[in-house]
Amino acid sequence: MKWFKHEVDAIHSEKLTRLKNDFGFEGYGRYWRIMELVAERMDGSDRCHIELPEKEWLSLLSMRRPLFDRYLFVIGSLFDSWRITTDKEKLLIRIEIPNLLEKRDNYTSDLQASSKKLPNRSRSRKEEDKESLSQESSLKKTASKPPANPDVKVAITHYINEYLRINGTIPHVNGAACKIFQTLLNTKPIEQVNTLTTGYLSLVDEKLRDKGFPIEWMPNHINRLLMAENKPERGFVY
């Protein structure tokens, strides 16, 4: 793609206003930089994503990892159409922006129209069958996944805000956070999960403080908090 449509009043939209309030004009500029990076890789097909190593993302956006993690979380919360996925084994982060397909330039639209008119004779029937099976498999996997709990994002936001309030710094939130809060929310309402999160971050324990209150340790400590609530005479003892 050579260019994409950019509304002149985009900065006044509710979502971009919230992004600017959280991260300043640097956060606003990084939003458009990500859009540019995705658009650079768009062609006559419906490709609308970019996948890069985490280190390259940090370099391209001039960010450090804790801020980058928080930025991606906020972006994902504000813009539902953005699809942000992480490959932990390969340390790759993929960002897909489907609504960029609606903003593509005339050059790319014409290129796409031309490619649809001319069938690709170079592909064998075997390759086409293989791609078709792959797409069917992908659809089945997507259909089998349980629906995401919207309260997970609420719980993670509460964790970040409480951590910042109590410890004065922004925590590093990794992929484990979603699984941990999803598990907690399977058996507890969001209000109780938030209360227990605050209780965990408020524990007076040097080991926890030195380690930065790892989110992976939270479930065990929450269980002990619940035990202390059920048997207050025993207290919460380490």
Residue 123 pLDDT greater than 70, yes or no:
no
Q: What is the pLDDT of residues 137-180, one digit of tens each?
A: 665 554 445 556 888 889 889 988 988 888 888 887 777 788 88
Average pLDDT, the chain: 80
More confident site: 236 or 40: 40
The DSSP annotation for the chain comes to ---B---TTGGGSHHHHHHHHHHHHHHHHHHHHHHHHHHHT--SSS--EEEEEHHHHHHHHT--HHHHHHHHHHHHHH-TT-EEEEETTTTEEEEE-GGGGGGB-HHHHHHHHHHHHS--TTS-HHHHHHHHHHHHHHHHHHHHSPPPPTHHHHHHHHHHHHHHHHHSSPPP--THHHHHHHHHHHHS-HHHHHHHHHHHHT---HHHHHHT--GGGHHHHHHHHHHHHHSTTT----
In this prediction, residues 111-122 reach a mean pLDDT of 49
Quote the pLDDT of residue 146: 54
Range scoring the smallest mean pLDDT among 3-12, 131-140, 155-164, 182-191:
131-140
Q: What is the pLDDT of residues 27-57, one digit of tens each?
A: 999 999 998 999 888 876 778 889 999 999 9
In this prediction, residues 196-224 reach a mean pLDDT of 85
Residue 190 pLDDT greater than 90, yes or no:
yes
Quote the pLDDT of residue 10: 85
Q: Which of 69-73, 109-113, 118-122 has the highest mean pLDDT?
A: 69-73
72: confidence class by pLDDT, cuts 50, 70, 90: very high
In this prediction, residues 122-149 reach a mean pLDDT of 61
